Amino acid sequence: MPPRRLHPLDGDTVREQLALRTRDLNTHRDVTRGHYVLYWMQSTHRVHENWALRAAIRAADALDRPLVIHQGLDPTYPYASARHHAFMLDGACDTQQRADQAGLAYHFVLREQRDDDRRVVDRLAARANLVVTDLFPTAGVAERSARFAARTDRRVLAVESSCIVPALSFPKAEWAARTIRPKLSRVLAQALEPVEERPPRREASAALRTSLADTMQRAPLPLASMSRADIDDAIARCDIDHTVARVKGIIGGTRAGSARLDHFVRDVLPHYMTHRNEAADDGTSGLSPYLHVGQLSSAEVVRAAQASGAPSEAIAAFVDQVTTWRELSFNWCVHTPRFDQLDALPNWVQTTMRAHADDVRPVTYDLATLESATTHDALWNAAQRQLVQSGVIHNYARMLWGKSILLWAPTYEDARAWMFMLNDRYALDGRDPNSVGGIMWCLGLWDRSWGNKPVWGGLRPMLTARANKKFDVGRYVRRWGGGA
pLDDT value, residue 8: 47
Q: Choose the weakest-confidence range: 48-62, 210-224, 266-280, 347-361.
A: 210-224
User: Can you tell me whether residue 257 is helix, strand or coil?
Assistant: helix
Residue 368's CB: how many other CB atoms inside 10 A? Answer: 8
* Average pLDDT over every residue of 214-241: 94
Give the span between the Cα atoms of 123 and 108, in whole angstroms.
15
Give the range with max mean pLDDT: 112-116, 197-201, 295-299, 469-473: 295-299
Q: Distances in Å between the alpha carbon of 248 and those of 86, 119, 135, 455?
A: 11, 34, 31, 39
* Average pLDDT over every residue of 280-290: 94
pLDDT value, residue 10: 55
Q: Distances in Å between the alpha carbon of 303 and those of 99, 152, 291, 385?
A: 23, 39, 14, 33
Q: Distances in Å between the alpha carbon of 323 and those of 181, 191, 316?
A: 8, 11, 10
pLDDT value, residue 298: 98
pLDDT value, residue 2: 38
Residue 3's pLDDT band (boundaries 50, 70, 90)? Answer: very low
pLDDT value, residue 482: 66
Q: Is it the case that residue 6 has pLDDT exceeding 50?
A: no
* Average pLDDT over every residue of 229-246: 97
Q: Is it the case that residue 7 has pLDDT exceeding 70?
A: no
Nearest to 318 by CA among 289, 341, 348, 286: 286
DSSP state of 262: H
Q: Choose the weakest-confidence range: 3-12, 24-33, 84-93, 387-396.
A: 3-12
Asked if residues 481 and 382 have their Cβ atoms less than 8 Å apart, the reply is yes
Q: State if pTM tops 0.85.
A: yes
User: Can you tell me whether residue 188 is helix, strand or coil?
Assistant: helix
* Average pLDDT over every residue of 377-402: 96
Give the span between the Cα atoms of 120 and 452, in whole angstroms.
54
Percent of the chain at pLDDT exceeding 90: 91
Residue 484's pLDDT band (boundaries 50, 70, 90)? Answer: very low
Asked if residues 123 and 215 have their Cβ atoms less than 8 Å apart, the reply is yes
